[in-house]
Structure 1
């Protein structure tokens, strides 16, 4: 039986969805701006071999708002484990969730394994873009960060009531374009809507978005990989999202950097997943479930 719960994490409530079963436990974490509903298809594919618990990270979905720090988010996950009576879970995360999985593995050597699904901080320095002329790299980074500035400015916006039906229809079209489960996609969209005082706004808020951006921009996973002792798998993208196409050279260079970074750390196993973008959780959930299950089975 699938069970939705609110966990008392002390500072705030954390929403979880328990897919049930008596297999080895797993926490499954979404990316920034997402929520647990967006991990449903992957969770279902993993359920035959794991008791999967998906989580709304703080400031997302049905979880409460609170200051975003790595320590606070990891504390939320620890509270989920205690109240769900889960011992030694594996932790699998996408994007922001993958960064949290890596940090969990660093702090929990007893973990049976952690998996990062393209959980990488964005490029912020020319040295993150090997092979690009430094002057061009600096210009491309400035252009990219201007786009991120625009996205941050739109976070937490109020949606006029008469525009909501059109937004839902556009989300349905996006799901069809991606070949995703439309019902799951729309649940993910609606789960990040907040209805209060006669207005509808989006989550995460502008404040949370700003905090997350600062945290990700300053995170260096190299030392994290090097000091982790539990089994760790890093799955990397191999192609761009459509919206990344104007920055094709930048992202190709950054993918080279990510391979170099994880190779230099020597600890994690990694693979560059064929024909996968950053949206790999939507594109290839069955393939990912097989990779994750095989990896964790070998780690136990």
Structure 2
């Protein structure tokens, strides 16, 4: 039986979806701008081997708002494990959720394992773009920052009621284009709508987005990979999303950097593993959920 509930994390409530069962527990964490519903297809694929618990990270979905820090988010996850009485859960996450999973493994050597699904910070410095001329790298990063700034400026905006049907229709089209489950996709979209005092806004807010951008931009996973005591698997993408294609050279260079960083971590740490997922973009949880479920399940069984 699937069970939705709110967990008191002390500072704020955290929304949780427990897919049930008596298999080993696995916490599944979503990306920036997502929520627990966006992981439904992957969670279902994982159910035969795990009791899967998804949650809305703070500032997303139906969870409360609060200042964002890695410590705060990891504390929310810890509160979920305590209140659901989860014994040594494994943790897997996509994008932002993958970064949190990796940091969880750094702090919780008792965990059976953590899996990061393209949980890597965005490129912010020319040295993260090997093979690109530094001057061109700086120019491309400035151009990319402009795109991120524009997206950031529109986050948390009020949505007029007359625009909602068109937004839903566009989300349905996006789901069909991605080959995703349309019902799951629309649940994920609606779950990030906040209704208050007759107005509808999108979560996360611009303030939360700003905090998260800084945290991710400042995060260096190299030392984490090299020193984490928990079995860790990093699954890396191999191709661009459509919106990344105008920056194809930048993202190709950044993938080289991420691959080298993961390889160095694995060389320094026998508990660290990595792989590049063939024909997978950053949207791998939508593109290949069954394959990812198999990879996660096999790693958590054999990764020790």
Once the two structures are superposed, residues 43-88 of structure 1 have per-residue CA deviations (whole angstroms, 9 ceiling, x without a partner) of 0000000000001000000000000000000000000000000011
Cα distance in 1, alignment partners of residues 37 and 301 from structure 2 = 25
Residues in 1 aligned to 2:34 and 2:156: alpha-carbon distance in whole angstroms: 13
Q: Is residue 114 of structure 2 the alignment partner of residue 110 of structure 1?
A: no
Secondary structure class of the residue paired with 2:274: strand
- How far the C-alpha of 1:227 sits from its partner, in A, is 1.1
| Aligned mates of 1:230, 1:149 — CA distance in 2 | 36
- Provide, for residues 187-215 of structure 1, a one-character-per-residue CA deviation record: whole Å limited to 9, x for no partner: 00000000111110000001000000000
Aligned to 1:41: 41
C-alpha distance after superposition, 1:85-142 (max 9, x if no partner): 0011000000000000000000001110000000000011000000000000000000
Partner residue in 1 for 2:219: 219
Structure 2 CA distance, aligned partners of 1:299 and 1:147?
A: 39
CA RMSD of aligned residues (A): 0.6
Q: Distance in 2 between matches of 1:128 and 1:154?
A: 28
Counterparts of 1:45-64 in structure 2, within 5 Å, are 45-64=45-64
2:290 is aligned with 1:286 = yes
Which residue of structure 1 aligns with residue 155 of structure 2? 155
Query: Post-superposition shift, 1:230?
Result: 1.1
- Corresponding residue of 2:260: 260
**Cα drift, residue 299 of structure 1:** 3.0
CA distance in structure 1 between the partners assigned to 2:247 and 2:303 by the alignment: 37
Shift of residue 295, structure 1, vs aligned partner: 0.5
Q: Distance in 2 between matches of 1:262 and 1:145?
A: 25
Structure-2-length-normalised TM-score: 0.98
Matches within 5 A, 1:5-154: 5-154=5-154
Match of 2:273 in 1: 269
Query: What is the SS of the residue equivalent to 2:208?
Result: helix
Per the alignment, in what secondary structure is the counterpart of residue 91 of structure 1?
strand
Q: Distance in 2 between matches of 1:225 and 1:106?
A: 8
SS in 1 for 2:75: helix
Q: Secondary structure at the match of 1:28?
A: strand
Task: List per-residue Cα deviations over 1:241-293 (Å, max 9, x = no partner).
Answer: 00000000000000000000011112321110000000000000000000000
State the secondary structure of the residue aligned to 1:7.
Answer: strand
Structure 1 unpaired stretches of 5+: none
Quote the Cα distance in structure 2 between the aligned partners of 1:203 and 1:57: 11
Q: Deviations over 1:200-242 (max 9, x none)?
A: 0000001000000000000000011111011110000000000
Q: Quick one: distance in 2 between partners of 1:207 and 1:52?
A: 30
SS of the residue corresponding to residue 175 of structure 2 reads helix
If the length of structure 1 is used for normalisation, what is the TM-score?
A: 0.99
